[in-house]
Amino acid sequence: MKKHTLRLRSNKFLRHLSESGSLNANKMIQPLFLVEGLTEKEPIKGLPDVYRETNKSIYTQIESDLKAGVSQFLLFMVPSAKSDTSFSKEFYQSNISEIKKTFPEMFLWLDTCICSVTTTGHCCHFHPQGTIDLNLTLHRLSELALIYADAGADGIAPSDMMDGRVASHRKILDENNHSHVPIMSYSTKFKSHFYGPFRGAADSSPQFGDRSGYQLDVRDRDTAIHTSIRDKEEGADLLMVKPGMTAIDLIGPIKEKTGLPTGAYQVSGEYASLVYLAKEGFLEFEDGLRETWDVFRRAGSSFLITYGARIAQRMYS
């Protein structure tokens, strides 16, 4: 039996994401943002009831979410200082370990990307001549994955779209007694105009250019499918398309070609568009949200990362 199969069967949370039933609250993952040095939680424009959390307020939010039926979270950690050479290990380790100690009943995914850390706001490092320094980037990404796993992260979710990063993550995890930790890869992630509210929340806007040098061209179907196949071959346990709605036609083909659970990320701009339509009286927010979820279900999405996960149990009851 392949190792990814064993990992996916290892606990109820991963079994929920893997089973072929329709979308429900158990298949929804709630994003969280933890910002170092913040003294009061901050609202995120376009995402009502979603906040940049302090290292105190995040406990209240998680407790509320668990009571509302959320069981899985995707945590984005935003350090106060940018650095191209080192990580704020204490910020990562102390907060992850304390969150897991306080809420052992939750499943905590950690997003591994360095766009919130680098001085450039990009998901990679560059050579002096401006090309991507892949070796250095993979080293730092995998170092971050190990920091997360050592601190108690239940799962790792690489989002940078660098070639080889899943293999690099799997290797460093396996070599450091974390072979049980699953990888949920952002395996088909497009350069998109729908990430705006997130970039403000994660302080990750590029300081120059854009991300077309490493994120996918939305017009390129073949490469989009190939990157998911590649990530499966490198050791990913679950795959994901992002943005969800603009990649929805790829969920079925990726599942068919890889045999892995394939989900979607309903990104901040997609979610915010429903918020603004409702604000202007063009739809009822929950009706519009439910319609999008029904479309993800129809497309065969195995799971969904959405800012509305915390209201999913109520909406499906």
| Identified catalytic residue from 3, 56, 100, 189 | 189
Active-site annotation holder among 27, 232, 242, 255: 242
Angstrom distance (rounded) from CA 79 to CA 15: 32
Helix residue ranges per DSSP H, the chain: 3-8, 12-18, 57-67, 89-102, 134-151, 165-174, 196-202, 221-234, 251-258, 268-279, 285-299, 312-316
Is 242 noted as a catalytic residue in this protein?
A: yes
Q: Rounded to an integer, what distance in angstroms lies between the CA atom of residue 27 and that of residue 245?
A: 17
Nearest CA among 87, 93, 110, 130 for reference residue 31? 110
**Is 101 an annotated catalytic residue?**
no
Whole-angstrom distance, CA of residue 233 vs CA of residue 231? 5
* Number of CB atoms found within 10 A of residue 260's CB: 22
Distance of CA 71 to the CA centre of its chain: 15
Total residue length of the chain? 317
- Return d(Cα 271, Cα 279) in angstroms, integer: 13
Q: Strands 28-35, 72-78: parallel, antiparallel or unpaired by DSSP?
A: parallel
Residue 235 near residue 187 (C-beta atoms within 8 A): no
Which residues carry out catalysis?
A: 189, 242
